[in-house]
Amino acid sequence: MKAHPTEVDCQFAVIRDGAGDTLIHLSTFGSDNRMSAPKSSQSFQLDRPMAEQLVELLIDTFGLNPGIPSAIEPPSPANVTAESTPRVDIAFPAVAEQGVDERIAAVVSDHEFMARYERFAPRFSPMSIGILLSAAITSNGRLPFDTVAQLLGIRVSRVRQAIAVLSQVINGEGATLLEENGVEVVLHERLMFEEFGVPSRS
């Protein structure tokens, strides 16, 4: 994958779906080098959960601090490591504001966790993962698929695929810390904290 050689125009509109929920409709109109008259080449729509994930991705990728302009350049992809990635510094003040357990914040800011996160590149930000894990430990380590789907902003039919990816980040060598049984997601809290060297609460 490489940068595109040309730019395209993009127009947007705010619309409502059949249930009355707000959507952002985006349409692209090809590059200026296109021979034919401008016409929509691709379009897609964002609902609120997808928009939240996009905002998190932009914040994580570019090291943005919402509401505060920044002249700090994020590290180039070739130089990104678990220590240099901007994801942790940006994600966790926001996570803390949402009431994420401090032990989960320690897990997802751990260098080993971030190294796995960079390696497997899940579509979910560390913030989203922290929210999911915190919800799991407050529910005795078990969350039904519909709750997981709501937390991650995905369809219920995609939960198994999402957990398969997230388990690569969370599970250690030969250790099953996060899994699913077809109807719910199971988090083995004690084992997870041991894996990442986080003290369990007494």
What is the three-class DSSP state of 132? helix
User: Which band of pLDDT confidence, cut at 50, 70 and 90, is reported for residue 180?
Assistant: very high
One domain, residues 154 and 79: yes
CB of 37 closer than 8 Å to CB of 60: no
Range of the domain at 78: 49-195
CB of 137 closer than 8 Å to CB of 187: yes
One domain, residues 109 and 27: no
CA atoms within 13 A on the CB side of 34: 15
CB of 148 closer than 8 Å to CB of 163: yes
One domain, residues 17 and 53: no
CB of 178 closer than 8 Å to CB of 192: yes
DSSP for residue 80:
-
87-128 residue pLDDT tens: 333 333 333 444 588 999 999 999 999 999 988 888 888 888
Domain presence at residue 185: yes
CB of 56 closer than 8 Å to CB of 64: no
Domain presence at residue 159: yes
One domain, residues 83 and 95: yes
The token pair at 81 is: 């490591």
Domain count, the chain: 2
One domain, residues 172 and 186: yes
Domain presence at residue 202: no
128-160 residue pLDDT tens: 899 899 999 999 999 999 999 988 888 898 899
Domain presence at residue 39: yes
One domain, residues 98 and 20: no
